[in-house]
Amino acid sequence: MDVGGGSSRLADELVNRVYEDVTVLDLSRVAVDEARARFVTNAAERIQPTWVVADILSWDPPRQYALWHDRAVFHFFITDADQRTYVEKVVAGTSRGSHLVIATFSPGGPEMCSGLPVAKWSKDGLAQRFAEHFSVVDALEQEHTTPSGATQPFTWLHMVRH
């Protein structure tokens, strides 16, 4: 499950590495359609991801996934209620032993992204938010360089569902 995957090339890479069960969820139909068109163009026999256009907070996972990946969706949830709802969705969409890889802006990151306010997370704070259901395997802080050349500090956690 790639939450917020939109037009990202992660699904391409996973399919190229012969993963057969890839789901991409994004709020933007335009981004999903762009990625889907790329798949159709690249190979007719290529394994196709499951494409989902939905708001993660109102979507109900139809099944459980071995890996839940979120690069920069969770930090858009600034209220405690939305953060709790997101965690509930992750719990509903995973099972014991499933992996969660999540990235958010670090405390030194920007206040806004795409014109929206964001919540910034330290490694410890993010781990605590998911601690009831997940244990941290690895954590890192990373300086991400945007296409425009700016740098943004990110917090990455790899967790396993217990």
pLDDT of residue 100: 98
Q: Please give the model's pTM, rounded to 2 decimal places.
A: 0.93
What does the block give as tokens for 129?
């938010």
CB distance 31 to 25 below 8 Å: no
Quote the CA–CA distance of 120 and 110 in Å, as a whole number: 8
114 exposed, middle or buried (CB, 10 Å; 0-12, 13-18, 19+)? exposed
CA-nearest of 25, 102, 99 to 71 is 102
pLDDT tens, 122-144? 999 999 999 999 999 999 999 98
> Looking at residue 44, what is its pLDDT?
55
**The pLDDT of residue 147:** 80
> What CATH number matches the domain at 58-162, 3.40.50.150, 3.40.50.12780, 3.40.50.2000, 3.40.50.300?
3.40.50.150
Kindly give the parts of the chain with pLDDT less than 50: none
Say if CB 35 and CB 56 are below 8 A apart. no
Cβ count near 80 (within 10 Å) = 10
Euclidean distance between CA atoms 130 and 91, whole angstroms: 9
Name the nearest CA neighbour of 102 among 113, 89, 112, 117: 89
Pairwise CA distance, residues 107 & 9, whole Å? 27
**Please, where in the chain does CATH 3.40.50.150 lie?**
58-162
Q: Position of tokens 């999540």?
A: 102
pLDDT at 108: 93
* pLDDT at residue 146 in the model: 81
